Amino acid sequence: MNKLCRQVSIESPGPGAKNCVFNFFVPIEDTPALGARIRIVCAGACYRRRDRANSITSMSSVSSELSDYCPSVNSMSSPAHQGIREGSFFPGFEVAGVIESLGSEITEANNRGLRIGQRVIVYPFDETPAGYAELLVVPDLKHVVPIPDSLPMEVAAMLPTGALLAWNAVFKAQAVVTQILSQRAATEPKRKPKILIVGTGGLALWAVRIASYHFATTGADNVDITVASLRDEGFRLATEIKNVSVVQWNECLYEPQLIERTKDVCGGAVDVVIDFGTTSRSLHRSMHCLSKGGVVLISDEVAEKLLPKFSRLSEQYQQEIIAISNGTAEQLAELVELVANKKIEPPPHSVFPCEQAAEVIAKLCNSEIPGRAILRFHDIE
């Protein structure tokens, strides 16, 4: 550890704390023999706890959960941390940067085509270190994915968790749709499968863009896609996407009204629900909008908490709840190519200097930033 680097620490606030964002310097490890050290240019604001108890998602999608950690939103009841930097609430798993150095045992034979100065993103492997820092150490080059010069760093930083999870969910939905079409081929060949995507945060906006592209290019364009918007701003964003219907889930309405409204917009019960804003309430509502034999896809980050609660109901309704993992590094590389070639358009995003992290977090807590927020540590473009 022969070098210090600046790191942004986003902590859980205690009584009397005026903010929960701090800048300080930490020692950075030497470059691993078979790994690399990455100079971070952009880090996407995503929410993921180290204990994997909550969903990987855009912070703007989970403002209600964030209120537990943001003093401007909720009263503070937890004791203040004394001398402990708790960076695990928002560790920064979505990063894009350039390779600063390669390990001493890296050769032309094992460098996987990577070189010093190359633009890359990092696949979120187990024990990924905090990305809200100037430098990040990667122990193995298999976790490093190159990106082309045509892909802006701020867009690339959104891909490793949010976009990749959405990509994996759409692939699973494709498998379900294929099975449904096969089952209906003889009796209802003209009946289109219906997919409902819940939420208009970063994950859901990625999912609807990926789904629109994927089903059109795989010959399965006879799929109806509907977005359940959770707020007015998201409703506007969702309507900008072609060939997608939108239903607004106004929380002021009673559940039967929301369920009826959703079925009206979808033209009946849906076959697949992709729910990234998963709470007990949204999952319960989704299952009521789902047909018999239908499938709900949720992140494996929330599955452990929600599956036991809904196992009896899913059995009663003859429905299936499937947990979706984040995807693979190979899928991430494919996603990079599609976004770089503008075949999939990224959702709205805003870039902020890392020095403004405290302001960004406060705004995200109150859902004041549309789409995604990106912190910039270095300016290389």
Element housing 300 (H / E): helix 300-317
Residues 154, 166 within the same domain: no
Whether 139 is covered by a domain: the verdict is yes
User: What's the CA gap between 311 and 366, in Å, rounded?
Assistant: 33
Residues 316, 184 within the same domain: yes
Of 79-88, 99-108, 162-171, 290-299, the least confident: 79-88
Residues 126, 255 within the same domain: no
Whether 117 is covered by a domain: the verdict is yes
Average pLDDT rounded to a whole number, residues 241-270: 88
* Nearest in space to 133 (alpha carbons), one of 26, 50, 56, 46: 26
pLDDT score at 89: 40
User: What's the CA gap between 81 and 98, in Å, rounded?
Assistant: 34
Q: What is the pLDDT of residues 135-186, one digit of tens each?
A: 888 999 999 999 999 999 999 999 998 899 999 999 999 988 888 888 888 8
CB 20 within 8 A of CB 44: no
What is the pLDDT of the chain when averaged over all its residues? 79
Q: What is the pLDDT of residues 263-293, one digit of tens each?
A: 999 999 999 999 876 788 889 999 999 999 8
Residues 178, 232 within the same domain: yes
Q: What is the pLDDT of residues 315-358, one digit of tens each?
A: 998 999 999 988 899 999 999 999 999 999 998 888 998 778 77
Whether 212 is covered by a domain: the verdict is yes
How many helices and strands in the chain, by DSSP H and E? 10, 17
CB 46 within 8 A of CB 164: no
Residues 45, 100 within the same domain: yes
| CATH number of the domain residue 238 falls in | 3.40.50.720
Residues 249, 284 within the same domain: yes
pLDDT score at 140: 94
Residues 293, 187 within the same domain: yes
140: helix, strand or coil: coil
206: helix, strand or coil: helix
Residues 259, 201 within the same domain: yes
Whether 152 is covered by a domain: the verdict is yes
Whether 193 is covered by a domain: the verdict is yes
| Terminal C-alpha separation, the chain | 29
Residues 109, 17 within the same domain: yes
Whether 299 is covered by a domain: the verdict is yes
Whether 331 is covered by a domain: the verdict is no
pLDDT score at 7: 67
Q: How many domains does the chain have?
A: 2
Structure pTM? 0.80
Residues 180, 150 within the same domain: no
Domain range for residue 138? 4-51+87-158+346-376
Residues 107, 130 within the same domain: yes
Q: What is the pLDDT of residues 112-137, one digit of tens each?
A: 999 999 999 999 887 766 557 788 88
Element housing 275 (H / E): strand 270-275
Q: What is the pLDDT of residues 42-70, one digit of tens each?
A: 988 754 443 443 333 333 333 333 333 33
Residues 249, 291 within the same domain: yes
